[in-house]
Amino acid sequence: MIASRGQDGAPQAALIGVAATDQAEIVFDTSRSSRKHRNIAADPRIALVIGLDDEVTVQAEGIADLPRGEELRRCTEAYFAQYPDGRQRATSPDIVHFRVRLTWLRYSDYRPDSFTIEESPIAPPAS
């Protein structure tokens, strides 16, 4: 799930599929006509919640951008490895791939035998 700010500043959330790169970035696709695309274009700060399977989650915050060139190829390959059907969607000119460079992360494991909560600030991405 992704959360971003709408034009009026109100929070907006959407369920998305995510993949991770080998550089600890999160990648997702969306339509250019979606609210999240408009919201991120206006304010690239977002929040994510990933998981909940077996009571394990990752909460994260970061800065989203639209990678270009080699960075886009690297990010989309990570995404397509997770979602092979994404290649077909990507043929549409309406689909874009956002990359999220994390600035904060919390791992939570709520299972009784392994209860853990770990939080980590991450250095902001270089501009």
What CA–CA distance (Å, rounded) separates 36 from 5?
A: 8
CATH of the domain at 8: 2.30.110.10
- Structurally, the chain folds into a number of domains equal to 1
- Given a cut of 60, whether residue 127 has pLDDT beyond it is no
Residue 112's domain spans which residues?
2-121
What is the SS3 assignment for 44? Answer: coil
**Assigned domain for 74 exists:** yes
Neighbours of 2 (CB within 10 A): 24
pTM for the whole structure:
0.89
Per-residue pLDDT tens over the stretch 67-115: 999 999 999 999 999 999 999 999 999 999 999 999 999 999 999 999 9
**Assigned domain for 127 exists:** no
Provide the 8-state DSSP code for 112: T
**Assigned domain for 85 exists:** yes
What CA–CA distance (Å, rounded) separates 48 from 37?
A: 15
The answer to whether the beta carbons of residues 27 and 97 sit under 8 Å apart is yes
The answer to whether the beta carbons of residues 50 and 57 sit under 8 Å apart is yes
Place of tokens 């270009």: 68
**Assigned domain for 126 exists:** no
